Amino acid sequence: MNKLFLFLLSVTLICNYLTAQSWVEQTSGVTTQLTSISAIDDNNVWVCGYSGRVLRTTDGGVNWVSANAAPIPASLNLHSIFAIDSITALVAGSGTSSFLFRTTNAGVNWTQVFTETGGFIDVVVFGNAFAGYMIGDPVPAGGRWSLWGTTTGGVTWDSATFYLPAGSNSEAGWNNAYYFDITTGLIFGTNNTRVYKTINLVNWQTLATPTQVNSYALWFNNPVIGMMGGTALLMTTNGGTSWIPTVGTLPGTAIISGIVGFANSWWVVRQSAAVYFSSNSGIAWSTQYTAPGAGLYRYIAKPRTFNANSLYAVRTDGGISKATGLVGIEPVSNQIPKQFTLCQNYPNPFNPVTHIKFSIPAGTSQGMLTQLKVYDELGREVTTLVNEIVTPGTYEVSFDASDIASGVYYYKLTAGSFTETKKMVVVK
């Protein structure tokens, strides 16, 4: 329904829309298996993999440099990485035991900050520079899930307030099979026809994934619409309470190893050489890119910043693929507004596309959660156009109403304590 084209608006310059998606192979300099990605923005990206391998780039993949050092052993396979910023990151490795290492100087030095005998860390994720979580397989098998939290940026970890019992003696998780943001909460996959979801890591929901025993990959485009992958794709439109097969069938048969998306667009990788794409919420899928060589994709990631314009995907042969031109977004002005603004859409009435401009003012340098939603006359939500952390600036969103009926609709902007609603009319 919607095509999200966000850009910083200037009254004197014209924005050039990026409409194509172009994949380019990176020069990683390694041939070892790469397993996980943490992309801060389009330029600052960290990657980890087998044999203690950690790589990072600060220039969008033009140069990848090694960031692994003692005490990370070269014999340890690394499965999950999270970069808090361009110099601070945590990486988890597991074998007969699990380990977590932390660096604050871009990988020049690492400190071991956690270990667990017999454990296996599946997920490392942070909500900000201080608060983070780890999820590990139940220890011992069939016991409680290994859940840990930190409020010290990963220096110390505690599990005292977290409790989630395993659903069976063999229940376990999967590397990087999770999704987390401040509105959706934390949701992670298992090998037991279920996913677990929480907002606070204290109260948990057990959500069944019919037909898919293994949830190898998870992603949500907004708090209610998400996809999970096993051997096939399931979709939820109610925050994970129920899951159904996507309308269109994803090509291929290999295990799904990664999912990302925004608005109605979705990218999926299997443990194959192909990247699959849908522009209409899974109704139809196509092969967008096929990587060279014999490597199989292990993971795909989207940068955390609101105006990110790239994707990164890693493979078993050390390959890294980068896509650009995804969001149709290009900043063209450095002017920061002084107040919140929600403008009247233009044109109005419209058929089928209109544009909505809004501003986030100075004083919110770290950005704030911003939502722009469309409702019908009965107050029912039609779609979410924006649901991101937005930094100060002026933005414009395109709303495509091709598949909704003529009538009066309302669009509502919520950013921090600010909220405003305006009316628009679809005429067909």
Q: Are residues 384 and 301 in the same domain?
A: no
Task: List the chain pLDDT tens, one digit each, 428 residues.
Answer: 333 323 222 222 222 233 336 899 999 999 999 999 999 999 999 999 999 999 999 999 999 999 999 999 999 999 999 999 999 999 999 988 999 999 999 999 999 999 999 889 999 999 999 999 999 999 998 999 999 999 999 999 999 889 999 999 999 999 999 999 877 899 999 999 999 999 887 899 999 999 999 999 999 988 888 999 999 999 998 999 999 999 899 999 999 999 999 867 899 999 999 999 987 788 889 999 999 999 999 999 999 986 678 999 999 999 999 998 764 333 334 577 888 999 999 999 999 888 888 888 877 555 678 888 999 999 998 888 877 667 777 887 878 787 789 999 999 999 989 999 999 999 99
Structure confidence at residue 365 (pLDDT)? 52
Q: Is 247 exposed, middle or buried (0-12, 13-18, 19+ CB in 10 A)?
A: middle
**Pair of tokens at residue 261:** 């998306």
Give, in order, the Cα–Cα distances in Å from 328 to each of 174, 251, 318, 403: 33, 26, 29, 22
Structure confidence at residue 328 (pLDDT)? 38
Say which CATH number the domain at 403 has.
Answer: 2.60.40.1930
Instruction: Report if residue 3 sits inside a domain.
Output: no
Q: Are residues 366 and 301 in the same domain?
A: no
Domain assignment of residue 415, given as a range: 341-426
Final residue of a structural domain among 264, 299, 324: 324
Which residues, 6 or more positions from 86, have their beta carbon under 8 angstroms from its beta carbon?
40, 44, 58, 106
Q: Are residues 311 and 386 in the same domain?
A: no
Give, in order, the Cα–Cα distances in Å from 188 to each of 9, 30, 80, 211, 369: 37, 30, 14, 17, 22
Instruction: Report if residue 265 sits inside a domain.
Output: yes
Q: List strand residue ranges (DSSP E) for 182-252, in order.
A: 185-190, 194-198, 204-208, 217-220, 226-229, 233-236, 244-245
Say which CATH number the domain at 213 has.
Answer: 2.130.10.10
Q: Are residues 420 and 313 in the same domain?
A: no
Structure confidence at residue 178 (pLDDT)? 97
The domain total for the chain is: 2
Instruction: Report if residue 88 sits inside a domain.
Output: yes
Token pair 């057990």 in the structure block, residue: 206
Q: Are residues 248 and 142 in the same domain?
A: yes
Final residue of a structural domain among 263, 292, 324: 324
Structure confidence at residue 336 (pLDDT)? 77
Q: Are residues 239 and 136 in the same domain?
A: yes
Instruction: Report if residue 277 sits inside a domain.
Output: yes
Q: What sign for the dihedral angle of Cα 417, 418, 420, 426?
A: negative
The pairing of beta strand 194-198 with beta strand 185-190: antiparallel
Distance CA 111, CA 183 (A): 32
Structure confidence at residue 386 (pLDDT)? 79
pTM (2 decimals)? 0.76
Instruction: Report if residue 230 sits inside a domain.
Output: yes
Structure confidence at residue 18 (pLDDT)? 31
Final residue of a structural domain among 324, 352, 372: 324
Instruction: Report if residue 11 sits inside a domain.
Output: no
Structure confidence at residue 297 (pLDDT)? 98
The amino acid sitting at 170 is: S
Q: Are residues 246 and 282 in the same domain?
A: yes
Q: Are residues 261 and 208 in the same domain?
A: yes
Q: Are residues 236 and 272 in the same domain?
A: yes
Instruction: Report if residue 66 sits inside a domain.
Output: yes
Structure confidence at residue 393 (pLDDT)? 78
Structure confidence at residue 364 (pLDDT)? 58
Instruction: Report if residue 33 sits inside a domain.
Output: yes
Q: Are residues 383 and 258 in the same domain?
A: no
Q: Are residues 315 and 347 in the same domain?
A: no
Q: Are residues 31 and 161 in the same domain?
A: yes
